[in-house]
């Protein structure tokens, strides 16, 4: 496929360098890593840690304009040092700027970033390290066939992008991934997964890398469907009301279900189920979405693309019973001596013949003092004995297997 590019990107490297000098350290290269490229970065650019571009970047960080946001911004511009706007900002980017309240700062940041690129001679640094970028891209090309993953995603979603850019971000660390739409192009940014002998490693496991590409491409296609059904999607907020950015969690559930479906197609139902069970955690609605994908593929004559089928997934999710309330409330700080039971109330009557209170890695499972019992058809009680200064967490009916109420 002629529209797929595996590459390094100077815009991504520049933003990574500038943001590395702010307090945002989620993707920061650890000092102990012995990463030759990053040692060169520090030697070349540490003298600019008080530059206006870094100060403006810190202001953006303070306002929450971090994570994917700065990369989204910079990829709408030409290569440094010019950094001229080449594409109209996407709706996603505009919403992010408005939500962070940084519209007044964006132009100043871009101007200072241009000055930073000129003054630090960033272009020369990037050119001098071309061999590092080339070695990484050639290694990825030799180990995986991303064409197959993109083709599979295009078939499933019934959609295509004009270009796919798989960007190897040499200044990001930890295996994080970002999808950024720019007009009809999709940028999939991959951070360094490991460092060996001073060199960056982007593929530690080929199968995992293939799933990563499938997932990143999926965000591009799924975002269109979510946007087209925005009002109906808003009605699903209760599914992830306790999980901060519930829209992202909702999308992650769709992506997880899509990856399970691709595994099922490639290596069978059991492997797909095992994959889902091992990664689902709080994305508990993913199995329900996975079920709907079989209906979608069986009716492609009726649904030529996923967006036309997407409303059916929303209907299915609205049929999922959910927890209306708990005592104690999620996140509550309580006196351990005053709480002797955990009370869970569901949105509709549930079976009382069996139960599934499940351990969670997010906290300790409480000591129980008796078996669960129902006080009515929607409310179950778990008798417990709590310890002081302890964080507790548990799941109720963790799907797909433990759905016995």
Which pLDDT score is estimated for 38?
96
Per-residue pLDDT of 335-391, as tens digits, reads: 999 999 999 998 888 878 766 788 877 789 999 999 899 999 999 999 999 999 999
| Distance separating alpha carbons of residues 195 and 22, to the nearest angstrom | 23
pLDDT band of residue 35 (cuts 50, 70, 90) is: very high
DSSP state of 241: T
Decide which of 21 and 398 is more confident. 21
Q: Phi/psi at 374 (nearest 5 deg)?
A: -100, 135
pLDDT, residue 347, reads 85
Q: Please give the model's pTM, rounded to 2 decimal places.
A: 0.84
Q: Which helix (H) or strand (E) holds 62?
A: helix 52-62
Hey, what are 14's tokens?
A: 């520049």
**Average pLDDT in the chain:** 91
- 98 vs 197: CA distance, rounded Å: 43
pLDDT at 148 over 50: yes
Give the span between the Cα atoms of 312 and 289, in whole angstroms: 10
Give the model's confidence band at 25: pLDDT under 50 very low, under 70 low, under 90 confident, else very high: confident
Q: Domains of the chain by range and CATH? A: 4-217 (no CATH), 229-318 (no CATH), 323-396 (2.60.40)
pLDDT of residue 244: 67
Instruction: Write out the two tokens for 372.
Output: 């669960």
pLDDT band at 149 (very low <50, low <70, confident <90, very high): very high
Return the residue matching tokens 């889902």.
276
Token pair in block for residue 392: 């507790």
Say if strands 373-376 and 379-385 run parallel, antiparallel, or are unpaired: antiparallel
Residue 2 β-bridge partners: none
The 3-class SS string of 168-227 reads EEEEEECCCEEEEEECCEEEEEEEECEEECCEEECCCCHHHHHHHHHHHHHHHHHHHHHH
For residue range 274-290, list pLDDT tens digits in order. Answer: 998 888 777 888 999 99
| Greatest extent of the chain over all pairs of C-alpha atoms, in Å | 72
């Amino acid at each position: 496929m002629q529209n797929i590019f595996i590459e390094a990107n100077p815009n991504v490297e520049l933003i990574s360098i500038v943001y590395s000098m702010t307090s945002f350290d989620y993707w920061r290269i650890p000092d102990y890593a012995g990463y030759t490229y990053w040692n060169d970065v520090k030697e070349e650019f540490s003298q600019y840690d008080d530059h206006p571009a870094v100060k403006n970047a810190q202001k953006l960080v303070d306002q929450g304009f971090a994570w994917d946001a700065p990369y989204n911004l910079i990829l709408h511009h030409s290569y440094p040092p010019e950094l001229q706007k080449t594409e109209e900002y996407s709706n996603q980017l505009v919403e992010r700027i408005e939500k962070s309240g940084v519209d007044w700062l964006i132009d100043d940041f871009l101007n200072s970033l241009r000055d930073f690129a000129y003054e630090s001679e960033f272009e020369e640094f990037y050119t001098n390290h071309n061999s590092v970028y080339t070695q990484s891209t050639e290694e990825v090309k030799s180990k995986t066939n991303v064409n197959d993953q993109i083709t599979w995603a295009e078939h499933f979603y019934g959609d295509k992008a004009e270009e796919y850019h798989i960007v190897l971000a040499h200044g990001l660390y930890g295996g994080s991934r970002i999808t950024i739409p720019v007009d009809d192009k999709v940028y999939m940014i991959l951070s360094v997964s490991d460092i060996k002998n001073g060199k960056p490693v982007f593929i530690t496991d080929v199968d995992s890398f293939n799933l990563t590409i499938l997932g990143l491409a999926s965000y591009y296609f799924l975002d269109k469907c979510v946007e087209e059904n925005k009002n109906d999607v808003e009605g699903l907020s209760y599914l992830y009301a306790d999980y901060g950015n519930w829209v992202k969690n909702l999308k992650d559930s769709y992506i997880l279900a899509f990856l399970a479906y691709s595994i099922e197609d490639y290596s069978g139902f059991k492997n797909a189920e095992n994959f889902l069970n091992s990664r689902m955690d709080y994305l508990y609605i993913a199995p329900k979405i996975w079920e709907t994908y079989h209906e979608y593929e069986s009716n492609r004559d009726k649904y030529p693309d996923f967006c036309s089928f997407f409303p059916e997934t929303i209907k299915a999710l609205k049929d999922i019973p959910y927890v209306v309330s708990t005592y104690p409330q999620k996140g509550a700080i309580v006196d351990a001596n005053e709480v002797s039971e955990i009370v869970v109330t569901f949105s509709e009557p549930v079976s009382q013949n069996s139960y599934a209170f499940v351990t969670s890695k997010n906290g300790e499972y409480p000591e129980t003092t008796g078996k669960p019992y129902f006080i009515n058809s929607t409310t179950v009680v778990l008798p417990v004995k709590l310890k002081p200064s302890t964080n507790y967490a548990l799941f109720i009916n963790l799907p797909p297997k433990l759905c016995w109420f």
